[in-house]
Amino acid sequence: MEEKGIVYGRFQIPHLKHMEYILAAKMRCQVLYIGITFPDDMYVSDEETANYRIKKQANPLTYLERMEMLKNAILDFKVPRNEFEIVPFPIERPEYIPQYIPKDAVCYMSICDEWTAKNERLFQHLGLKTETLWKRMEESKGVTGSQVRKLIQEKNEEWKSLVPRSVCEYVTEHGIDERIRKMK
């Protein structure tokens, strides 16, 4: 078992596939650092771009909202609070990543598209140790945040079964579902 590990994602609504990724990595390390990419909207764009990850509609949640939802969800899965940390992970400015994570941590990867494959090469270039948890074809990676947000926009209650209970409660209690419905 490694002492420290890292996972990362936008978590633009933490869902059960995110939890699968986080928990699989946690089983391999004592302390897990969960990095939130695009922690602010500095690199989010209203312009048309091929990279959906930086589109305004794909990023309705603040860093604080994502951090709170992740923390609650991970605690719901009975991971002790002293065994994980949630940190910014500025993937858009990779030279800053080492400021947020321990250099001796293993970055656990879920490779499911060219973007994550490129990130693996980037992390290795930065001198980070990486370990691939699994490689999946993009079409078989399972639920995505985009799908959850689309279901919320459509007022389809199925979204609630795709996220941890605490995330569902947070989204509805904080009016995030209404905010998503207003975004077009």
- Looking at residue 148, its amino acid is V
Q: Tens digits of per-residue pLDDT, 90-124?
A: 988 888 999 999 989 999 998 888 878 888 888 88
Q: Indicate whether 24 pLDDT > 80.
A: yes
Whose CA is closest to 88, among 78, 100, 76, 70? 100
Mean pLDDT within 164-182? 95
107 neighbors 128 (Cβ within 8 angstroms): yes
pLDDT given for residue 50 in this prediction: 45
Reading the block at residue 167, the tokens are: 């995330």
- Residue 175 dihedral angles phi and psi, to the nearest 5°: 70, 20
Alpha-carbon distance of 73 to 61, in angstroms, equals 16
Q: Give 39's pLDDT tier (boundaries 50, 70, 90).
A: confident
Strand order in the sheet with 84-88: 84-88, 29-36, 2-9, 106-111, 129-135
Q: Indicate whether 55 pLDDT > 60.
A: no
Q: Indicate whether 153 pLDDT > 70.
A: yes
